[in-house]
């Protein structure tokens, strides 16, 4: 394994009761967290839609950056990894906000479109809104899985901005095609099936909502997608739903356009990548090699940890501590 992945870091050891990538991945979903006292903010978007943010506010310290969090596919600001990180950030004096991608906050969004692995325009609009709202206070960003891919793509597009101090991407799918393929074979089919069912249900719920609310213009776009029950894989969903709803010519065009791997060289912001070599969703072949990365983009690759799992023996908050350490080094 170390020969294939020269960047594997020995500082992470899975506990005996989480012996593989699947158990690490699933365990994270079942860890409970105390409710957080958060404030919800609705941001109205230029296209008539909205995005909800959930703020966990600490005492204002101008020298500390606000931390902007992006969740993964079929997740939300209520995902366990988001709640845990916001709790830890707050305990260390950081104010954080968790973005809910369109349609993920518990309320159906207003347009037929939703979110996808390259929806950087939404991050940019939120950044510009928050920049004005906070008086230009510096920001650090952390994205998980799909959210990590969106974050990396956005960073590759914006160049260097003095108030964007850091990006942390956890379990980012650098190659969407490889990841889609991994979820269509072997045990990976269980993940692909889960995501496909959730995504199909979301579209069906939105269709019903638009029928009831007489949103005929948006309903027509969803009805044009046809019978979603015929779809059998995540690739088919992306080919027949994600791509046409968001302006791509099929799954291959969507995957090639939105994969973050080819964009890493264009990033000018300091970035910490946190990945696991036994991630059941992200094939090892898609991981960048250290020599392929700019000096300010650092890869922390563990031998185990699963997909957004990273429960370490003796350090259950290993992931949160790694992210906190990266954030603390990005400001004076």
- pLDDT attached to residue 9: 79
CA angle 319–323–325, rounded 5-degree value:
115
Query: In this structure, what token pair is assigned to residue 318?
Result: 């290993």
What sign does the CA torsion over 143, 149, 150, 156 have? positive
Q: Is the pLDDT of residue 61 over 60?
A: yes
Interacting residues of 56 by C-beta distance below 8 A, sequence separation 6+: 36, 37, 38, 86, 87, 89, 90, 95, 96, 97, 98
What is the β-pairing status of strands 8-9 and 39-44? unpaired
* Helix segments in the chain, DSSP class H: 21-30, 80-91, 120-133, 146-158, 176-182, 188-212, 216-223, 234-237, 243-245, 251-258, 318-328
CATH class of the region 8-174+259-328: alpha beta
Query: In this structure, what token pair is assigned to residue 23?
Result: 């158990």
Candidates 52, 279, 286, 300; catalytic one: 279
Packed helices 80-91 and 21-30: angle between N→C axes, nearest 10 degrees: 70
Q: Is the pLDDT of residue 245 over 80?
A: yes
What is the pLDDT confidence band of residue 4, given thresholds at 50, 70 and 90? very low
Is 279 among the residues known to form the active site? yes
Is 145 among the residues known to form the active site? yes
> Could you report the per-residue pLDDT of 153-181, keeping only the tens digit for each?
999 999 999 999 999 999 999 999 999 99
Give domain limits for the chain: 8-174+259-328, 176-258
Is 92 among the residues known to form the active site? no
Q: Is the pLDDT of residue 332 over 80?
A: no
Candidates 84, 145, 276, 286; catalytic one: 145
Q: Is the pLDDT of residue 6 over 70?
A: no
Candidates 5, 22, 116, 307; catalytic one: 307
């Amino acid at each position: 394994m170390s020969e294939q992945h020269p960047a594997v870091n020995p500082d992470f050891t899975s506990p005996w009761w989480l012996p593989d990538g699947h158990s690490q991945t699933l365990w994270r979903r079942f860890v409970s967290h105390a409710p957080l006292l958060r404030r919800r903010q609705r941001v109205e978007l230029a296209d008539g839609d909205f995005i909800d943010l959930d703020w966990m506010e600490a005492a204002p310290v101008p020298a500390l950056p606000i931390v902007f969090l992006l969740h993964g596919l079929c997740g939300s600001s209520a995902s366990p990894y988001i709640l845990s990180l916001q709790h830890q950030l707050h305990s260390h004096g950081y104010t954080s906000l968790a973005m809910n991608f369109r349609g993920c906050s518990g309320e159906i969004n207003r347009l037929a479109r939703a979110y996808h692995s390259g929806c950087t325009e939404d991050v940019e609009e939120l950044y510009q809104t928050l920049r004005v709202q906070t008086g230009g206070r510096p920001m650090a960003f952390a994205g998980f899985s799909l959210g990590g891919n969106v974050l990396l793509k956005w960073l590759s597009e914006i160049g260097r901005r003095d108030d964007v101090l850091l990006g942390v991407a956890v379990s980012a799918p650098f190659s969407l095609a490889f990841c889609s393929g991994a979820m269509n074979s072997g045990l990976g089919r269980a993940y692909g099936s889960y995501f496909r069912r959730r995504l199909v249900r979301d579209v069906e719920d939105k269709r019903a909502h638009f029928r009831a609310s007489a949103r005929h213009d948006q309903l027509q776009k969803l009805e044009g997608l046809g019978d979603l029950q015929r779809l059998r894989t995540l690739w088919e969903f992306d080919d027949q739903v994600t791509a046409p709803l968001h302006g791509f010519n099929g799954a291959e065009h969507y995957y090639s356009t939105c994969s973050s791997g080819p964009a890493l060289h264009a990033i000018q912001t300091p970035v910490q990548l946190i990945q696991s070599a036994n991630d059941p969703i992200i094939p090892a072949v898609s991981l960048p090699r250290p020599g392929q990365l700019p000096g300010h983009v650092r890869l922390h690759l563990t031998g185990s940890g699963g997909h957004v799992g990273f429960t370490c023996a003796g350090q259950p908050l290993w992931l949160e501590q790694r992210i906190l350490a990266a954030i603390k080094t990005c400001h004076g």
